[in-house]
Chain A
Amino acid sequence: GICNGETVSVIIVLMQEVTATSRHYVDRLFDPDPQKVLQGVIDMKNAVIGNNKQKANLIVLGAVPRLLYLLQQSSSSLELRTECSVVLGSLAMGTENNIKSLVDCHIIPALLQGLLCPDLIFIEACLRCLRTVFISPVTPVQLTSTIFDIPCLISKTQEYITQIFSHCCKVFTPEHQTVLFNHGAIQNIAPLLISPSYKVRMQALKCFSVLAYENTQVSMTLVNVLVDGELLSQVFVRMMQRDQPIEMQLTAAKCLTYMCRAGAIRTDDSCVVLKTLPCLVRMCSKEHLLEERVEGAETLAYLMEPDVELQRIASTTDHLVAMLADYFKYPSSVSAITDIKRLDHDLKHAHELRQAAFKLYASLGSNDEDIRKKITETENMMDRIVSGLSESSIKVRLAAVRCLHSLSRSVQQLRTSFHDHAVWKPLMKLLQNAPDEVLVMASSTLCNLLLEFSPSKEPILESGVIELLCSLTQSDSPALRVNGIWALMNMAFQADQKVKGEIVRCLGTEQLFRLLSDPDTNVLMKTLGLLRNLLSTRPHIDQIMSSHGKQIMQAVTLILEAEHSIEVKEQTLCILANIADGNTAKELIMTNDDMLQKIKYYMGHSNVKLQLAATFCISNLIWNEEDGSQERQDKLREMGFVDILHKLTQASDPNLSDRAKTAMQQYLA
Chain B
Amino acid sequence: MSGQSSGCGFLMSVVVHGDSVLNEQEKELNQRLRRLYPAVNENETPLPRSWSPKDKFSYIGLSQNNLRVHYKGMTPRHTQAASRVLLLHRYMGIGLSAQGVNMNRLPGWDKHSYGYHGDDGHSFCSSGTGQPYGPTFTTGDVIGCCVNLINNTCFYTKNGHSLGNDLRQQSQYPNLYPTVGLQTPGEVVDANFGQHPFVFDIEDYMREWRTKIQAQIDRFPIGEREGEWQSMIQKMVASYLVHHSYCATAEAFAKSTDQAVHEELASIKNRQKIQKLVLSGRMGEAIETTQQLYPNLLERNPDLLFMLKVRQFIEMVNGTDSEVRCLGGRSPKSQDSYPGSPRPFSSPSHKASSSQPYLPGFDSNCCNGVTSNKSHSSSPHSHKPCPPGSGSTLPASDISLNGSRSQQPISSSDVDMEVDHFTNGVTESSSNGFLNGSSKHATEPDDCDADMEVESAQSKRQLCGGSQAAIERMIHFGRELQSMSEHLRRECGKNSANKKMLKDAFSLLAYSDPWNSPVGYQLDAIQREPVCSTLNSAILETHNLPKQPPLAQAVGQAAQCLAIMARTGSGSCAFASVDDYLH
Contact = CB atoms under 8 A, between A and B. Distances in A.
Interface of A: 241-243, 274-275, 278, 313, 316-320, 323
A316 B161 CA distance: 8
Nearest to A245: B211
B160 A242 contact: no
Contact of A319 (B164, B205, B211): B164
A278 B207 contact: no
A241 B201 CA distance: 10
A271 to B, nearest CB: 12
Interface string B196-213: 000001001101101100
A242 B160 CA distance: 15
B134 interface: yes
A241 B161 contact: no
A652 to B, nearest CB: 40
Nearest to B208: A242
B162 A278 contact: yes
A317 B201 contact: no
B204 A318 contact: no
B211 A317 contact: no
Contact of B158 (A241, A243, A316): A316
Contacts of B207: 241-243
11 contacts: A241-B204, A241-B207, A242-B207, A242-B208, A243-B210, A243-B211, A274-B161, A278-B161, A316-B161, A317-B162, A318-B164
B164 A242 contact: no
Contacts of A319: 163-165
A316 B207 CA distance: 23
B160 A318 contact: no
A293 to B, nearest CB: 16
Interface residues of B: mostly helix, strand, loop or mixed? mixed
Given A243-B207, A274-B160, A278-B161, A316 B134 contact: yes
Contacts of A275: 201
Interface of B: 134-135, 158, 160-165, 201, 204-205, 207-208, 210-211
B162 A318 contact: yes
Which 7 A-B residue pairings sit nearest by Cβ, starting from the closest?
A: A242-B208, A319-B164, A318-B164, A243-B211, A243-B207, A316-B135, A317-B161
B163 A316 contact: yes
Contacts of A318: 162-164
A318 B165 CA distance: 7
Contacts of B162: 278, 317-318
B162 to A, nearest CB: 5
Nearest to B210: A243
A253 to B, nearest CB: 13
Contact of A242 (B135, B158, B165, B204): B204
A317 B164 contact: yes
A239 to B, nearest CB: 12
A320 B134 CA distance: 11
A323 B167 CA distance: 13
Contacts of A278: 161-162
A316 B208 CA distance: 21
B205 A242 contact: yes
A319 B160 CA distance: 15
A317 B205 contact: no
Nearest to B206: A242
B210 A274 contact: no
Nearest to A270: B160
B360 to A, nearest CB: 21
Contacts of B161: 274, 278, 313, 316-317
A319 B161 CA distance: 11
A274 B163 contact: no
A380 to B, nearest CB: 18
Given A316-B161, A317-B164, 9 more contacts: A241-B207, A242-B207, A242-B208, A243-B208, A243-B211, A274-B160, A316-B163, A318-B163, A319-B163
A282 to B, nearest CB: 9
A69 to B, nearest CB: 53
A241 B211 CA distance: 11
A250 to B, nearest CB: 14
A325 to B, nearest CB: 13
B517 to A, nearest CB: 48
B400 to A, nearest CB: 16
A96 B205 CA distance: 50
A119 to B, nearest CB: 37
A316 B210 CA distance: 26
Contacts of A313: 161
Contacts of B205: 242
Contact of A274 (B135, B164, B201): B201
A241 B135 CA distance: 26
Contacts of A241: 204, 207
Contacts of A274: 160-161, 201
Contacts of A243: 207-208, 210-211
Contacts of A323: 164
A73 B162 CA distance: 63
Contacts of B204: 241-242
A279 to B, nearest CB: 9
A275 B204 CA distance: 10
Contacts of A316: 134-135, 158, 161, 163
A341 to B, nearest CB: 22
Nearest to B135: A316
A320 B135 CA distance: 13
Contacts of A320: 164
A316 B164 CA distance: 8
A274 B207 CA distance: 16
B163 to A, nearest CB: 6
A243 B211 CA distance: 6
B163 A317 contact: yes
Nearest to B136: A316
B442 to A, nearest CB: 32
A275 B162 CA distance: 12
A311 to B, nearest CB: 13
A323 B431 CA distance: 44
Contacts of B165: 319
Nearest to A240: B204
Nearest to B212: A243
Contacts of B134: 316
Nearest to A318: B164
The CB with the most chain A CB atoms within 10 A, among B135, B161, B165, B208, is that of B161
A278 B158 CA distance: 12
Contacts of B158: 316
